[in-house]
Amino acid sequence: MLKQLILVGLGGAAGSMLRFLTAVLTAKYYAATFPLATFIANVVGCFLIGIFIGLFWHSSQLNQNLRLLLVTGFCGGYTTFSTFSSENLNLLQTGHTLTAIVYMATSIVAGLLAIWLGLFLAK
C-alpha cells in the first residue's frame, strides 16, 4: 500500500507542477476572458489518460504501477476532468448511457452549486 501511495503522490506532484506551468505559460502568451489554461489542461489530460489507459490495458504488476503513477497520479494531479471524462466514456461504452448522462449533468450542476455555496458561506 505504501508503494502505491508513493507512486500516486509522485505522479500527482508532477501533474500538479505541469498544471501550474500550463497556467503560467498560457497567461504569458494569452490574455482574454476564455479560461484557456484550464481548457488546455482538461483536453491534454483527457488525451494523455486515453493514451495511458490504452497502453496499460492489460494488467500486470508493472502496468498496474505505471497506471497508478501516470493515470491516477499524474493525470489526477494535472486535471481531474480527465478521470471524469474517462469514467463517462466507460459508462457509455458499457451501455450505461442514462447513468453517464445523469453523472455528467449532476456533476456539473452540483459542482457549480458547491462553488456558489462555498463562496456564499465564505462571505
Please indicate if the annotation marks 76 as binding a ligand: yes
Please indicate if the annotation marks 79 as binding a ligand: yes
Residue 8 near residue 73, CB atoms below 8 Å: yes
Grid cell listed for 73: 497520479
Q: Which amino acid is at 13?
A: A
**How far, in Å, CA of 92 to CA of 100, rounded?**
6
Could you tell me which residues are annotated as the binding site? 76, 79
Could you tell me which residues are annotated as the binding site for Na(+)? 76, 79
